Amino acid sequence: MKRITLPAFLFLCLGLFFTLPAFAKTELTYASFFPPTHGQSQLAESWCAEVEKRTNGEVVIKFYPAASLVKAPQTYDGVVSGIADIGQTVLAYTGGRFPVSAAIDLPMGYKNGVQATKVANAVLNKFQPKEFDDTKIMYLHAHGPGLLNTTKKKIVTLEDMKGLKVRTTGASGAIITALGGSPVGKAMNESYELLQKGVVDGSLHPLESNKGWKLGEVVKYVTENYSTAYTTTFAVMMNKAKWEALSPAAQDAIKGINAEWAGKHGESWDQIDKDGIAFLKEKGGELLPQTPEESEKWQKAVSPVVDEYIKSTSGKGIDGKAVVDFIKANM
């Protein structure tokens, strides 16, 4: 019996070895600058969990929020060099690096985050910018209307903007200049202290930041300048070599998740905008509507910002007008 049982046992083990699915477990890191309590941070972390689930444990991702692995402005290069395998960052933090996608951030009069996110990914799919060739872009997302938030002064008319110091990022600096203010280019995580200490008079940011970054504690007024509302494009990207090392099945699973999560981010931006309004009002803040006439004045004032984008990109071999026209057609 022993002579028969042992060979049979070994044969059974060998059969199981060849019939069970075989894969090498891949462990990756994901760097994000959002604080862990922020809705966008929580969505990024849920993306990691979904990847592990749908790849049946083939891909496991450790999430690092609050710029704990790499700082926000260095995230893209950090992914290229392999400091982080995956990263989420603001493209405008490295101004001039992403000229095609910079058009998304222009003051187009965005109405909500779902709209802005759809536009961002439409631009990505339509133009397939070479500026992203050194990584594998997972997806883009973009926040809801970027509006003027101030600490002490009510800003309603264009005349009120004169001399106002406003914290901005990327293309939004040109918006403030066009409106007559003075932009102060700083990252979002520096905003609270700048506003609290009076270094700046206000900040150009989406409503969600009043809760997500606690800015509603130091901001008193929000000008509803929707006609000049900009957005900020966020990118989630993976190190190219790490992406290419994944199995085709894992890549297909992640592509499916990316399509879903882009939409989730847009919806989340809109929900947390509502939360930001509630938080602002809870802290005694006030929304300041604009008249149609004033809104039109602001829109005319920022039109040169779009014109300048088209002019500047033409010198780089990019048809900026085509990108702008595409965005307007897909709003």
What residue spans in the chain does CATH classification 3.40.190.170 cover?
Answer: 23-144+232-274, 146-230+283-329
Look at 2-11, 108-117, 270-279 and tell me which has the smallest mean pLDDT. Answer: 2-11
Mean pLDDT of 125-151: 98
For residue 17, what pLDDT is reported?
44
For residue 6, what pLDDT is reported?
53
Q: Is the pLDDT of residue 18 over 50?
A: no
Rounded Cα–Cα distance for residues 121 and 141 (Å): 7
Q: Is the pLDDT of residue 21 over 90?
A: no
Domain boundaries 146-230+283-329, corresponding CATH code = 3.40.190.170
Look at 3-17, 141-155, 157-171, 307-321 and tell me which has the smallest mean pLDDT. Answer: 3-17
Confidence category of residue 109, pLDDT binned at 50, 70, 90: very high
Look at 13-17, 109-113, 122-126, 159-163 and tell me which has the smallest mean pLDDT. Answer: 13-17
Confidence category of residue 24, pLDDT binned at 50, 70, 90: confident
**pLDDT tens across 37-59, in order?**
999 999 999 999 999 999 999 99
Higher pLDDT, 10 or 159: 159
Mean pLDDT of 162-175: 92
Q: Is the pLDDT of residue 22 over 70?
A: no
Mean pLDDT of 233-261: 98
Average pLDDT score over the chain: 93
Rounded Cα–Cα distance for residues 265 and 267 (Å): 5
For residue 5, what pLDDT is reported?
60
Confidence category of residue 169, pLDDT binned at 50, 70, 90: confident
Q: What's the 3-state SS for the chain?
A: CHHHHHHHHHHHHHHHHHHCCCCCCEEEEEEECCCCCCHHHHHHHHHHHHHHHHCCCCEEEEEECCCCCCCHHHHHHHHHHCCCCEEEEEHHHHCCCCCCHHHHHCCCCCCCHHHHHHHHHHHHHHHCCHHHCCEEEEEEEECCCEEEEECCCCCCCHHHHCCCEEEECCCHHHHHHHCCCEEEECCHHHHHHHHHCCCCCEEEEECCHHHHCCHHHCCCEEECCHHHCECCEEEEEEEHHHHHHCCHHHHHHHHHHHHHHHHHHHHHHHHHHHHHHHHHHHCCCEEECCCHHHHHHHHHHHHHHHHHHHHHHHCCCCCHHHHHHHHHHCC
**pLDDT tens across 279-309, in order?**
999 999 999 999 999 999 999 999 999 999 9
For residue 170, what pLDDT is reported?
75
**pLDDT tens across 171-222, in order?**
799 999 999 999 999 988 899 999 999 999 999 999 999 999 999 999 999 9
Confidence category of residue 70, pLDDT binned at 50, 70, 90: very high
Domain boundaries 23-144+232-274, corresponding CATH code = 3.40.190.170
Rounded Cα–Cα distance for residues 142 and 138 (Å): 14
